[in-house]
């Protein structure tokens, strides 16, 4: 019975971690776009966006990432035999990439809090889609427990990635057109 509670907590913190990752990059986009506004608009927008990012990052996203890790190791303790299975090794590989993604987001967060925008809003929109791809990969691996199914899943993810990139480019054109009017 304890295992089910631990697994449930792991899943809850995975969900809150992803929610934080999805939204923090959205805030990064808004921060970068606010830096391109007039001085008066920047003076209003940036302090509020910086505060929102700080609260999200340190109150939700970081704690969720750490608790995901703790409960994830605890789940593995109960299911140690899974470590020999290819799907689990692949899943943990994607999880490692997700933690690298998190750390890069931390660097972007620190830069933006210091008023330095090293990424464009378009680059950040594309960056935001990587966490979606990681989520799909991890969930499909853990649910299907099959690398063959994951190969087809990755083909689907690549197709999804292409569609997302096309959507981002289309959205950029729409926004540019609106700004010209």
pLDDT in tens, the chain (181 residues): 798 999 999 999 999 999 999 999 999 999 999 999 999 999 999 999 999 999 999 999 999 999 999 999 999 988 887 778 777 888 899 999 999 999 999 999 999 999 999 999 999 998 998 998 899 888 888 888 766 666 776 777 778 778 888 888 888 888 888 888 7
Q: Is 161 helix (H, G, I), strand (E, B) or coil?
A: helix
pLDDT for residue 150: 63
Is 102 part of any known ligand binding site? no
DSSP character at residue 12: H
Cβ neighbours, 10 Å, residue 87: 19
pLDDT for residue 169: 82
Distance in angstroms (rounded) separating the CA atoms of residues 79 and 162: 36
Q: Which of 120, 114, 104 is nearest to 172 (CA)?
A: 120
pLDDT for residue 140: 82
Distance in angstroms (rounded) separating the CA atoms of residues 152 and 27: 33
Is 118 part of any known ligand binding site? no
Q: Is 36 helix (H, G, I), strand (E, B) or coil?
A: coil
CA dihedral 152, 157, 158, 162 (to 10 degrees): 140
């Amino acid at each position: 019975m304890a295992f089910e509670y631990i697994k449930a907590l792991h899943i809850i913190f995975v969900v809150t971690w992803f929610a934080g990752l999805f939204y923090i990059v959205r805030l990064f986009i808004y921060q970068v776009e606010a830096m391109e506004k007039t001085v008066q608009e920047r003076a209003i927008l940036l302090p509020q966006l910086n505060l929102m990012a700080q609260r999200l990052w340190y109150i939700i996203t970081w704690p969720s990432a750490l608790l995901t890790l703790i409960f994830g190791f605890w789940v593995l303790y109960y299911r140690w035999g899974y470590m020999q299975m290819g799907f689990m090794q692949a899943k943990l590989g994607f999880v490692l990439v997700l933690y690298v993604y998190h750390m890069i987001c931390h660097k972007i967060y620190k830069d933006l809090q210091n008023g330095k925008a090293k990424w464009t809003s378009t680059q950040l929109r594309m960056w935001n889609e990587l966490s979606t791809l990681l989520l799909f990969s991890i969930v499909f691996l853990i649910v299907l427990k099959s690398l063959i199914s994951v190969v087809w899943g990755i083909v689907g993810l690549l197709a999804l990635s292409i569609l997302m990139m096309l959507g981002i480019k289309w959205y950029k054109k729409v926004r540019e057109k609106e700004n010209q009017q």
